[in-house]
């Protein structure tokens, strides 16, 4: 019997075999693609494990089919540390789709007796873009604006609708007054300026829920520049489709019984990454039973849960100090810990049960540190939330 591939893919950003429950988000993006003058850029935001990267990748062929050029990559902290690096990132990405577009002809003279000349077509390669950028006067923002105007003048005759700059992990982008570097403000200023001149260059950013507040903090008008799409966990039917469709589509000899589907849905709580992770583990276990001609065992819920804890949660939990862990263990005692919680609520429960209660100022300081390590974040109402799905349940298991 030939090997049966496991269709489930729980890796970071790996396209699942079936993209479930994102019809609303897809329709919203399709609407934005119809813009001739860019009034709305796009932010895809949500917790880790909700499929932001996957959804962004699914948008790319949609945009290309509608006549857009698509550029972009992950926005690493190193690439966005300074304004100059941010500019180089944009130029390098842009060159990928413009390098075949004609720019100018150069006359090449052959030296020597009876020398002749010939014309060579220059295109909008990286070197050409850098040359235009470097020769433009002004600050980094001025140079980028001039470059984008120049590029569009040569791209437009080829019938393209516009260019989408799509960047994943955009929450890594930030301004720094200490170093006098403002790459986030640069990005917003440049795109707002060229969009006002009816140049159809669109930003599509994905990131954690801290992204939009950071953009608004950099430039207050950012809120009006973007249409924000919040990704939530999948509903019950979409979750079950994500569990069953990959097996149905691959004509697989392994099937999930209804009670197994219910168990996987309950453990995953509708988070796409966890669905893929648990289904991969169950599939491998049952495949081994099938190959050895043994009956399929029940789903080893405890074993899978322990493995998920080790693979997904433990590394994040290890970043917290002992005192920070004490604070987080207080948080999970709150009835609303899976939604939002406040400094005052933590302080109150700390007074009630802790031998060494936390003061409000200490809680504020620790939550700020935990936000920096990616365990919590502050929402737009000034309340805090866990930045990792199901982290509260993991902490409860550690407490137990």
pLDDT of residue 319: 87
Strands 102-109 and 117-123: antiparallel
Q: Tell me, what DSSP letter sits at residue 172? A: G
Mean pLDDT by groups of 10 residues along the chain of 400 residues? 76 82 94 93 92 93 96 76 92 94 64 54 90 94 96 93 94 88 94 95 93 90 93 94 82 80 92 92 83 75 88 89 93 89 93 88 92 84 87 86
CB atoms under 10 Å from CB of 384, counted, come to 24
Cα 86 to Cα 80: distance, rounded to the nearest angstrom: 5
pLDDT of residue 62: 95
End-to-end CA distance of the chain: 45
Cα 329 to Cα 333: distance, rounded to the nearest angstrom: 7
Residue 294, helix vs strand vs coil: coil
Cα 106 to Cα 171: distance, rounded to the nearest angstrom: 43
Nearest to 372 by CA among 323, 336, 319: 319
Cα 67 to Cα 165: distance, rounded to the nearest angstrom: 14
pLDDT of residue 109: 46
Cα 16 to Cα 11: distance, rounded to the nearest angstrom: 9
pLDDT of residue 106: 55
Nearest to 178 by CA among 88, 76, 86, 81: 81
**Helices (H) and strands (E) in the chain — how many of each?**
17, 9
pLDDT of residue 248: 80
Q: What is the pTM of this model?
A: 0.86
The two structure tokens encoding residue 120: 């060579």
Residue 198, helix vs strand vs coil: coil
User: Do 334 and 346 meet the contact criterion of CB atoms below 8 Å apart?
Assistant: yes
pLDDT of residue 79: 63
Residue in this structure with the two tokens 């690439």, named with its chain if needed: 79
pLDDT of residue 75: 78
The two structure tokens encoding residue 321: 């100090």
């Amino acid at each position: 019997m030939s090997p049966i591939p496991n269709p489930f893919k729980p890796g970071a950003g790996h396209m699942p075999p079936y993209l479930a429950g994102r019809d609303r988000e897809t329709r919203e993006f399709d609407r934005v693609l119809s813009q001739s003058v860019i009034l709305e850029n796009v932010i895809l935001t949500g917790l880790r494990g909700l499929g932001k990267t996957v959804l962004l990748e699914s948008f790319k062929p949609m945009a290309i089919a509608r006549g857009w050029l698509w550029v972009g990559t992950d926005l690493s902290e190193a690439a966005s540390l300074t304004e100059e690096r941010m500019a180089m990132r944009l130029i390098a990405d842009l060159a990928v789709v413009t390098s075949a577009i004609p720019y100018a002809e150069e006359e090449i003279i052959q030296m020597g007796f009876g020398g002749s000349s010939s014309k060579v077509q220059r295109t909008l390669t990286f070197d050409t873009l850098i040359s235009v950028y470097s020769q433009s006067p002004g600050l980094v923002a001025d140079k980028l604006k001039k470059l984008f105007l120049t590029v569009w003048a040569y791209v437009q005759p080829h019938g393209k609708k516009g260019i989408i700059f799509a960047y994943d992990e955009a929450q890594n982008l930030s301004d720094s007054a200490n170093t006098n570097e403002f790459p986030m403000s640069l990005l917003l200023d440049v795109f707002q300026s060229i969009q006002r001149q009816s140049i159809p260059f669109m930003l599509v950013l994905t990131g954690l829920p801290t992204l939009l507040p950071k953009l608004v903090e950099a430039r207050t008008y950012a809120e009006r520049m973007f249409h924000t799409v919040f990704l939530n966990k999948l509903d019950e039917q979409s979750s079950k489709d994500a569990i069953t469709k990959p097996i149905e589509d691959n004509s697989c000899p392994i099937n999930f019984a209804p009670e197994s589907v219910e168990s996987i849905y309950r453990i995953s709580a509708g988070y796409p990454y966890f669905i893929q992770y648990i289904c991969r583990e169950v599939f491998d276990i049952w495949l081994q039973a099938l190959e050895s001609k043994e009956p399929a065992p029940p789903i080893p819920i405890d074993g899978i849960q322990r493995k998920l804890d080790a693979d997904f949660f433990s590394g994040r939990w290890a970043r917290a100090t002992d005192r920070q862990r004490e604070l987080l263990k207080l948080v999970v005692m709150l009835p609303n810990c899976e939604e939002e919680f406040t400094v005052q609520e933590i302080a109150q429960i700390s007074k009630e049960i802790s031998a060494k209660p936390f003061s409000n100022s200490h809680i504020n300081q620790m939550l700020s540190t935990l936000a920096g390590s990616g365990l919590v974040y502050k929402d737009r109402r000034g309340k805090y939330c866990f930045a990792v799905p199901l982290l509260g349940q993991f902490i409860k298991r550690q407490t137990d």
